[in-house]
């Protein structure tokens, strides 16, 4: 029997759990051509949600593309990535070659500055080639042509740019931000979705009045999958192997994982592999499996070594206390830190983004596995 849990790939369809209200809200914004800025903690399921919405919930007249710019390092590569996304959205699910060649002729009428063709080896691919060497101009005319095409055909589009924070690390960051702002403002028949995993940088881009992307869309905070919904979904999958999952066991996992979807899925994946039919997963077995999964992750030791001693002690304190009441006397004494040293360590860790502060004041790890590893390591 195939393992029904996945943790290392974006999921949709059968492998996708819940999120009915989020799907509905996203689809409404997309239909209304409203831009969306999706904030969430890491590995909570931003990219999977986009995949699920695009594959299974959009009207047929809405073209879509999911562009991940994580590996882009200059304007040329950004142009190429955006271009590939637009090409994919134009082809959509069309595989009929006759229809495709008519589509190519049609598209060519709008993309005057480029040559449009089709590659037929394997899955048919559309190719738009421009000789423009100024990549800022190339990006601008790409979108201009695309919007004209949409308008003329009464089509809509949604363009998701994932790992959007990458923009700020590019050489011409400010110029690119300004260019994209202009494009986004002049858009027709379309909505953009901006999302990414570096929450501090994204918040900085969209919530700073001095920046080009200030208030350029509606904010959409993606919470963890709700505990009950996740439990019911997971329990049902275990029952296929006649394995029974106790609620308290799942709650223990959900709490330790801060609701992080990926980690919960990974632990379930391992449980499914290791359980015999008719077995029951109780809290003790769950705790053992979590520990097993975490202690296997040896790169955490290397990660810790990148920090100064004060920062390392600070990280351990945050892990043990779950980010509350760090500065109590007994804790400071135990960690052999003065309050000032710890405060300065926390500041630098926040700046780096390895931890962040919730509205409640709680300090939270960006990477829940690192938190758990530190916790197990400190109590060894």
Ligand X SMILES: Nc1ncnc2c1ncn2[C@@H]1O[C@H](COP(=O)(O)OP(=O)(O)OP(=O)(O)O)[C@@H](O)[C@H]1O
Q: Nearer Cβ to ligand X, position 16 or 135?
A: 16
65 binds, among ligand X, Mg ion, none (CB under 5 to 8 A by kind): none
Least CB distance to ligand X at residue 5 (A): 8
Return d(Cα 347, Cα 345) in angstroms, integer.
5
Please list every residue from 191 through 220 that binds ligand X, using CB under 6 A.
197
**Among residues 37, 38, 39, 43, which is the contact residue for ligand X, using CB under 6 A?**
43
Nearer to Mg ion, 47 or 75 (CB): 47
Q: Find the binder of ligand X among 35, 48, 190, 313 (CB under 6 A).
A: 48
- Alpha carbons 125 and 271: distance in angstroms, whole number: 41
* Range 118-157, binding ligand X (CB under 6 A): none
Alpha carbons within 13 angstroms on the beta-carbon side of residue 339 total 5
Task: List Cβ neighbours of 64 (8 Å cut-off, separation of 6 or more).
Answer: 54, 58, 89, 157, 158, 159, 160
By CB under 6 A, the count of residues binding ligand X is 24
- Can you tell me which of 1, 2, 9, 330 binds ligand X, judged by CB under 6 A? 9
Backbone angles phi and psi of 234, in degrees to 5: -70, -45
Cβ distance to Mg ion smaller for residue 66 or 187: 66
Q: Give the nearer residue to ligand X in terms of CB position, either 18 or 204.
A: 18
Interface with ligand X, residue 237, by CB under 6 A: no
Alpha helices in the chain (DSSP H): 20-31, 46-56, 75-91, 97-108, 135-152, 173-186, 199-207, 227-239, 247-256, 261-274, 283-295, 299-305, 309-321, 329-335, 339-352, 368-378
CB of residue 41 to ligand X, shortest distance in Å: 8
Question: Closest distance between ligand X and the C-beta of residue 143, in Å?
Answer: 24
Instruction: Name the minimum Å distance from CB 105 to ligand X.
Output: 37
**Of all residues in this chain, which one has the CB nearest to Mg ion in the complex?**
47
Asked if 270 is part of the footprint of ligand X (rule: CB under 6 A), the reply reads no
Closest contact distance (angstroms) between CB of 266 and Mg ion is: 16
Contact partner at residue 198 from Mg ion, ligand X, none, CB < 5 to 8 Å by partner kind = none
| Rounded distance between C-alpha atoms, residue 222 and residue 280, angstroms | 32
Hey, what's the torsion of the CAs at 202, 206, 212, 214, to 10 degrees? 180
Q: Is 158 in the site for ligand X (CB under 6 A)?
A: no
Secondary structure letter of residue 275 according to DSSP? P
276 binds ligand X (CB under 6 A): no
- Would you tell me which residues interact with ligand X (CB under 6 A)? 6-11, 15-19, 40, 42-48, 197, 225, 261-262, 265
């Amino acid at each position: 029997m195939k393992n029904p849990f996945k943790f290392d790939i974006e999921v949709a369809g059968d492998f996708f759990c819940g999120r009915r209200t989020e799907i509905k809200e996203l689809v409404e914004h997309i239909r209304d051509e409203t831009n969306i800025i999706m904030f969430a903690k890491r590995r909570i399921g931003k990219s999977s949600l986009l995949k699920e919405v695009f594959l299974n919930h959009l009207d047929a007249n809405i073209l879509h593309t999911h562009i991940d710019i994580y590996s882009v390092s200059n304007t040329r590569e950004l142009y190429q990535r955006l271009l590939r996304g637009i090409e994919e959205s134009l082809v959509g699910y069309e595989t009929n070659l006759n229809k495709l060649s008519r589509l190519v002729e049609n598209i060519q009428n709008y993309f005057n500055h480029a040559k449009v063709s089709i590659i037929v080896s394997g899955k048919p691919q559309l190719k738009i080639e421009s000789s423009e060497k100024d990549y800022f101009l190339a990006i601008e005319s790409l979108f201009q042509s695309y919007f004209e095409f949409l308008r003329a055909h009464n089509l809509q589009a949604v363009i998701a740019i994932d790992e959007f924070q990458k923009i700020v690390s590019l050489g011409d960051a400010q110029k690119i931000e300004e260019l994209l702002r202009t494009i986004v403002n002049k858009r027709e028949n379309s909505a953009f979705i901006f999302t990414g995993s570096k929450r501090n940088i994204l918040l900085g881009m969209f919530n700073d009045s001095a920046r080009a992307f200030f208030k350029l869309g509606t904010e959409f905070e993606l919470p963890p999958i709700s505990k009950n919904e996740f439990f019911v979904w997971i329990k049902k999958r275990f029952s296929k192997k006649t394995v029974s999952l106790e609620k308290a066991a799942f709650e223990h996992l959900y709490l330790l994982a801060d609701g992080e979807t990926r980690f919960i899925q990974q632990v379930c994946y391992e449980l499914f592999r290791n359980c015999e039919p008719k077995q029951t997963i109780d809290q003790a077995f769950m705790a053992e499996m979590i520990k097993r999964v975490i202690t296997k992750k040896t790169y955490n030791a290397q990660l810790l070594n990148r920090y100064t001693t004060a920062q390392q002690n600070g990280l351990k304190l945050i892990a043990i206390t779950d980010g509350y009441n760090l500065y109590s006397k007994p804790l400071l004494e135990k960690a052999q830190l003065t309050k000032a040293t710890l405060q300065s360590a926390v500041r630098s860790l926040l700046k780096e983004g390895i931890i962040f502060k919730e509205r409640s004041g709680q300090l939270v790890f960006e990477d829940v596995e690192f938190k758990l590893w530190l916790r197990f390591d400190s109590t060894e």
